[in-house]
Chain A
Amino acid sequence: MGGKVTCTLGEVKQRADFIVYWGGNPAECHPRHFTKYTLMQKSKFLPRGRKDRTVVLVDIRETKSAKAADHFLQVRPGKDFELLTIMRAMIKGQDVPEAQVAETGISIEVLRDLIEKMKKAKYGVMFFGMGLSMTRGKHMNAAALLTFAAEMNAFTKFVAMPMRGHGNVTGADVIMRWQTGYPFGISLNRGYPRYNPGEFSTVDVLVRGDTDCAFIIGADPGATMPKPAIDHLAKVPTIVLDPHVTHTSRLSRVHITTAPAGIAAPGTGYRMDEVPMPLKPALNSPYPSDEEVVRRIKEVIATKPDWMTNQPQMIESQV
């Protein structure tokens, strides 16, 4: 997602007068997003608060978030990429065949009206959720939306931002980008980082049975992943760090209980707009923090001979 056109939530709160939620249900999944950042806040630039903002929801079904939106567009499931591509053509005044528009489940009149409103906005923002990025098309859908937001800048200010789920998943992206240059789906097995989602992403690795030991921290794949992936986790030595004994712990060889981050362990967490926040733990846990346990495991590994310099060089045996 290099070159993503984005901003912070502070800017959204102060300036965004046109807000699109695509494939997300903030009313139930991010309950304070509306009140803290997007709908209800008044600012110097939007003195009347909600009245100065236009909110559009694009989703495959009418969720609770639809009630909070001014316009609801019910896109046919799996047609997000088509709808985004049609809208990208329409903002540039290109002709689009009506039959193709009809396939998305939304009429061309609605789209014309929407695009007119988007172009009149002073500061538009598109939030996209897993309904866009985890359905048919996956990251290509997200790329289409990001391109759409970038192209809207030929007419007015527009930005895009993913609606991130679990706590510090944004931090994981940021830390991996900082340390390896890539956000996820990384292999270090040649001694330098390589990035290839689909090859090195966990579900694919597990389903193919490519790994022979799994270290799981702050996640419960045993409850969320497809069955073949879970079966492979049970087959190989799996190590779990979690504040609770989870589904994954039950099929693991080693479980280590750690203090819950932000509640009993201090540190830093990233907000979805990549703003870091200090955590203020309220409790003292009888368990060590994740940081301490991972560091200690790392230190034990570091005392062993380095795996790479002790292996016969791959190139020699291939020549």
Chain B
Amino acid sequence: MELKVIENATCTFCGCVCDDIELHADDMRIHQAKKACILGKSWFLNHTAEKKYPDALIDGQPASLDDAIEVAANYLYDADMPLVYGMSNTTCEAQKECVAMADLLGALLDSHTSL
């Protein structure tokens, strides 16, 4: 099968964020990550497009995304002092949404930096 080649892909494993990686991928997984270091290779090769996990879990039981979003929103809204934390392995666009949500909630907002 012909592999799709993505040139100058960006690796977000460590803070170097190397943007010169050549990825060879099919629909399911990345087969090669040229120029990536040992950490980057395992980062790219160990993520697949498989459906390994349920869309969502509520109290440990598989659930639909819509239900999970509703339940999550209720927990956050009902809390007196909610906390929004993490934001390392995600995009700036998602981080922006997190800040907006924390603002709406009057929440605590923190990242890995403080650890």
- A→B interface (CB under 8 Å): 29-33, 36, 134, 163-176, 179-180, 183-191, 193, 197, 200-203, 205-206, 210-219, 221, 224-225, 236-237, 239, 241, 243-245, 249-250, 252-257, 260-272, 276-280, 282-291, 293-298, 300-302, 304, 307-308
CB of A200 within 8 A of CB of B97, answer no
- Provide the residues of chain B in CB contact with A180, threshold 8 Å: 99, 103, 109
**B2 interfacial contact with A, CB 8 Å:** no
- Provide the residues of chain B in CB contact with A253, threshold 8 Å: 58-59, 71, 75
- Provide the residues of chain A in CB contact with B81, threshold 8 Å: 189, 210-213
Task: Give 9 CB contacts A-B under 8 Å.
Answer: A31-B38, A188-B107, A200-B109, A201-B115, A257-B53, A263-B43, A271-B16, A276-B92, A301-B105
**Complex formed: what's the CA distance from A256 to B64 in Å?**
9
- Provide the residues of chain B in CB contact with A32, threshold 8 Å: 16, 18, 37, 40
**Complex formed: what's the CA distance from A85 to B56 in Å?**
51
CB distance from A178 to the nearest CB of B (A): 8
Q: Which of B67-104 contact A (CB under 8 A)?
A: 68-73, 75-104
CB distance from A16 to the nearest CB of B (A): 16
Query: Chain B: interface residue count, which band?
Result: 35 or more
CB distance from A123 to the nearest CB of B (A): 20
B32-53 interface code vs A (CB 8 A; 1 in, 0 out): 0000011110011001111111
CB distance from A110 to the nearest CB of B (A): 30
CB distance from A34 to the nearest CB of B (A): 10
Q: Which of B1-52 contact A (CB under 8 A)?
A: 4, 6, 8-19, 23, 25, 27-30, 37-40, 43-44, 47-52
- Provide the residues of chain B in CB contact with A268, threshold 8 Å: 91-93
**Complex formed: what's the CA distance from A304 to B105 in Å?**
11
**Complex formed: what's the CA distance from A256 to B76 in Å?**
15
CB distance from A179 to the nearest CB of B (A): 4
Q: Which one, A215, A266, A285, contacts B83 given CB within 8 A?
A: A215
- Provide the residues of chain A in CB contact with B8, threshold 8 Å: 280
- Provide the residues of chain A in CB contact with B113, threshold 8 Å: 169, 172-173, 183-184
CB of A262 within 8 A of CB of B12, answer yes
- Provide the residues of chain B in CB contact with A265, threshold 8 Å: 91
Which residue on chain B has the smallest CB distance to residue A167?
B12
CB of A277 within 8 A of CB of B17, answer yes
CB of A290 within 8 A of CB of B91, answer yes
**Complex formed: what's the CA distance from A139 to B73 in Å?**
35
Q: Which one, B38, B88, B106, contacts A188 given CB within 8 A?
A: B106
Q: Which one, A214, A219, A256, A285, contacts B88 given CB within 8 A?
A: A219
